[in-house]
Structure formats: C-alpha cells, structure tokens
C-alpha cells in the first residue's frame, strides 16, 4: 500500500511537469501562428518559411510528446487513485478534452498556414490565444479544490 502511495506521488509530479510543458507549447503556438500569418499577409515569404519550421519544432519537440505523456499519466493517476467515479474528474476531463481539441486545431491551422491558406484574422488568433489560460485555470481549480 505504501508503495502505491509513493508511486502515485511520483506519477502526479511527472503529470504536473508535463502539463506545464504542454501549456507552454499551447501558449506559444498561437503566437507563432499570429506572426506566421502576418508574414504571409505582408508577403514576407522567407520569414513565413521560418515560421513553418518553428511551428513544426514546437509540435514535435514540446506539444506532441507532452500531450501524450499528460494523457497517459492522467489515466494512470485516475486509475491508481480510484477517481473515475468522482464528479470533479469528469468535469476536468471535459476541459482536458477541450484543450486537446484546441491543440489539434492549432496543429491543423499551422499546417493550413504552411500551405499558404490563412482563414482567420490576427485579432481572432490573438483572442484564441486566451483559451489555454482559461482552460488550465478551470482544470487546476477542479483538480485541487475538487468542488464535487
């Protein structure tokens, strides 16, 4: 029993570390998209090409590995802690799935920009940049306070 408690704490620490990595990537990617789109709009093709490379690196080095580890460790923690029936976890998962969808949207939009097909304006991209902050705020409150 003591071993499981110790393992749980290590899994929790790792989960939180990778959540920080994932959130860092989710905060950076939309800014990259804004700068990339502005380069396209201004006809700065060399700069736009650099943003394609930067976006690919952030996806491959930070975002994709982090989201995979966050999900694996989150499922592990929910199982080890017997949290599946708890209301706060269900609510938290709704927001985590939402952020995962946002992650997918960002990756998709980066690919769209790489193909030279922007479809949003800079103001909209800047507004969308706030989604991870709102999502992680609710997630932290649900996971720490466990209101239900």
Which positions of the chain have pLDDT values less than 50? none
- Distance from C-alpha of 29 to C-alpha of 13, rounded to nearest angstrom: 25
Q: Return the HEC string of the chain.
A: CHHHHHHHHHHHHHHHHHHHHHHHHHHHHHHHHHHHHHHHHCCCHHHHHHHHHHHHHHHHHHHHHHHHHHHHHHHHHHHHCCCCCCHHHHHHHHHHHHHHHHHHHHHHHHHHHHCCCCCCCHHHHHHHCCHHHHHHHHHHHHHHHCCC
List the binding residues: 15, 92
User: Tokens for 58?
Assistant: 């952030």
* pLDDT score at 146: 96
Q: Report pLDDT for 1.
A: 66
**Annotated binding-site ranges for heme:** 15, 92
Q: What pLDDT is stored for residue 58 in this prediction? A: 97
Q: Which of 90, 87, 73 is nearest to 8 (CA)?
A: 73
- Please tell me the predicted confidence (pLDDT) of residue 2: 79
User: What would the pLDDT profile of 12-49 be if each residue is shown by its tens digit?
Assistant: 999 999 999 999 999 999 999 999 999 999 999 999 99
How far apart CA 72 and CA 25 sit, in angstroms, is 18
CA nearest to 143, candidates 76, 74, 73: 74
Cα separations (Å) of 41 from 33, 37, 47, 117?
12, 6, 11, 10
Q: Which of 16, 7, 12, 144 is nearest to 89 (CA)?
A: 144
Question: What is the structure's pLDDT at 72?
Answer: 98
Quick one: pLDDT at residue 4? 78
pLDDT at 122: 87
């Amino acid at each position: 029993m003591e071993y499981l408690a110790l393992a749980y704490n290590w899994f929790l620490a790792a989960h939180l570390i990778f959540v920080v990595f994932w959130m860092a990537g989710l905060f950076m990617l939309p800014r990259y998209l804004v700068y990339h789109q502005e380069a396209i709009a201004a006809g700065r093709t060399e700069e736009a090409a650099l943003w394609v490379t930067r976006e690919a690196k952030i996806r491959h080095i930070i975002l994709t590995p982090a989201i995979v580890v966050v999900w694996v460790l989150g499922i592990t923690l929910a199982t080890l802690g017997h949290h599946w029936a708890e209301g706060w976890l269900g609510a938290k998962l709704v927001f985590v799935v939402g952020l995962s969808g946002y992650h997918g949207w960002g990756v998709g939009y980066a690919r769209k920009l790489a193909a030279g097909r922007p479809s949003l304006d800079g103001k909209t991209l800047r507004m969308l940049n706030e989604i991870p902050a709102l999502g992680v705020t609710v997630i932290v409150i649900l996971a720490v306070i466990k209101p239900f």
